[in-house]
Amino acid sequence: MKKRIISFALATLLCVSSLAVLTACSHEHCFSTDWSADATHHWHACEDASCTEVSDKAEHSFDGGKVTTEATDTADGVKTFTCTVCDATKTEPIAFNGLTAGQYGVAMDAPNFNNVTVNWELNVTPVSGDAYSEVFVVKMDGNKYSQAGTSNGEKISVYSESDAESVAELKATLLFFAQIKRKQLTFDKATGVYTAAEDCKVNVEMPDGAIQTFTDAKMKFSGNTVTEVTFALSYTDGGEVTWTATGKVTLSGYTTTVVVPLGLDADTLDAATNIETAFENVTFEVSENDHTVTVAIANGTMQIGDLYYSDEDLMKKLDDYFGFLSAVDSSKFMVDSEADAYVIEGAAAEYNNCSYSNVSITLSDGKLTYLTYICTDNASDDVIRVIHLSAYGETSVEGMENNGGSDGGDQGSGDQDGGDQGSGDQGE
């Protein structure tokens, strides 16, 4: 009797189980060949959307990961891991621990420095002599460059176009750090500074054979561009170190630097001030200290009030006004953008036993329109001269009532007509 009861119970259970299966899934399964996945597992799902049965369910098997976004100094990077079975992915952030070799290579790629502004600061300690500083700005755009600043108190103003050799020489010194390899640098995450190893040296040979040796380099970057480099420098000439220095280079204006003339080139200055050709027909006012006169030149004659000069005497007067400019190094002129002028502050030239300084020049269409300077000699007080030129090609000279060149030589005019005090004639 008990066996019959047990057999009946088992039969009833199997029937219930069969009914449950038929109720849960009343069809033959057809599983998709594509993988389904969540964050942790993958599987093959039944193609019947109403069926929840799955096949081959297992945990993901991720590979070692690949950097898909490089970390930078402003944002974490991204590393992506891929399941080797179903191609599902997961990501992890990458903290910035300095530029990678690839990023560093991009930063130091030579074309980056074809268009850039470089600020150079150097504190020099000679082996013998006094210490001095050197500060200037170099702007480069292809083979065009400008350089302006001071070195040991002397002003520097250079502008050049299509001078690949000079640009290459500048870059060799200013961009010495581009020769340093990433593996030679240690990154300090707290300060963002990359410090070169103690044995890291960059030697730059100068055109005269002297050697500049750069050491102790420290760099800062913004993104993939270098923005600041500090360094130590020694200069060896003929096998002897002649001076050492510490310095800093800052870089900006990548791709946006505009190079414009800083000073006057020699040809422009000569064309505007050559006493043989530039003043054949012109009117100008000359103010010297407390006196002002009007000077007119036309047809080979200069008129100053009632005095007339021609030939050799005319040339002497022009030489007195403008001749010193032939002795001025045009590269010393700096642009004064506010005054729209070219200026030399301090000493400019020695000419005819006089010292000329504080020169300011304004040009218009290649012609001299305004000139000021101080003339100093040992025999008299300083002459502060201001010359304003106009009426090029429109000047006429009438009458020859008193020719200053034929009645005893150059009279000057400060002694007889209250005007032009030519510095060579003040003793008359």
Residue 342 contacts residue 262 (beta carbons within 8 Å) = no
- List 150's β-bridge partners, or say none: 135, 155
Give the mean pLDDT of 234-262.
93
The arithmetic mean of pLDDT across residues 356-360, rounded, is 94
pLDDT at 389 over 60: yes
Q: How far apart are CA 50 and CA 415, in angstroms?
A: 118
Confidence band for 226, pLDDT divided at 50, 70 and 90 = very high
Question: Residue 16 — φ and ψ, nearest 5°?
Answer: -65, -45
Question: 1-5, 9-13, 24-28, 75-79: lowest mean pLDDT where?
Answer: 9-13
* Whole-number Cα distances in Å, 32 to 36, 43, 44, 55, 56: 9, 9, 6, 9, 11
pLDDT of amino acid 17: 36
Helix and strand element counts for the chain (H, E):
5, 25
Q: Which of 335, 316, 332 is nearest to 262 (CA)?
A: 335
- The two tokens of residue 238 are 């003929």
The answer to whether residues 259 and 138 touch, using CB atoms and an 8 Å cutoff, is no
Given a cut of 60, whether residue 369 has pLDDT beyond it is yes
* CATH 2.50.20 for the 101-252 domain, yes or no: yes
Which pLDDT does position 400 carry in this prediction?
A: 55
| pLDDT computed for residue 334 by the predictor | 78
Torsion of CA 111, 114, 115, 120, to 10 degrees: 110
Angle at 247 between CA 243 and CA 248, to 5 degrees: 160
The residue length of the chain stands at 428
Which residues lie below 8 Å from residue 45, measured CB to CB, with a gap of 6+? 31, 32, 36, 54
Other CB atoms within a 10 A radius of the CB of residue 67 amount to 13
Separation CA 144–CA 261 (nearest Å): 10
Rounded Cα gap, residues 182 and 100, in angstroms? 8
Provide mean pLDDT across the span 121-145. Answer: 94
Domain residue ranges of the chain, discontinuous segments joined by +:
36-96, 101-252, 266-390
pLDDT class for 16, splitting at 50, 70, 90?
very low
- Cα angle for residues 21, 25, 28 (degrees, 5° grid): 110
Mean pLDDT of the chain: 85
Residue that the structure tokens 């799955």 belong to: 54
Q: Identity (one letter) of the amino acid at 267?
A: D
Name the region of 3 (left: φ>0; alpha: ψ -120 to 50; beta: rest): alpha
Contact between 153 and 129 (Cβ < 8 Å): no
pLDDT at 339 over 90: no
Strand 66-69: give its sheet, edge to edge. Answer: 66-69, 77-82, 89-94
Q: How confident is the model over 142-159, as pLDDT tens digits?
A: 988 888 888 888 777 777
Tokens of 269: 């200055």
Nearest to 159 by CA among 253, 268, 250: 268
Q: Where are the alpha helices (DSSP H) in 281-329?
A: 311-322
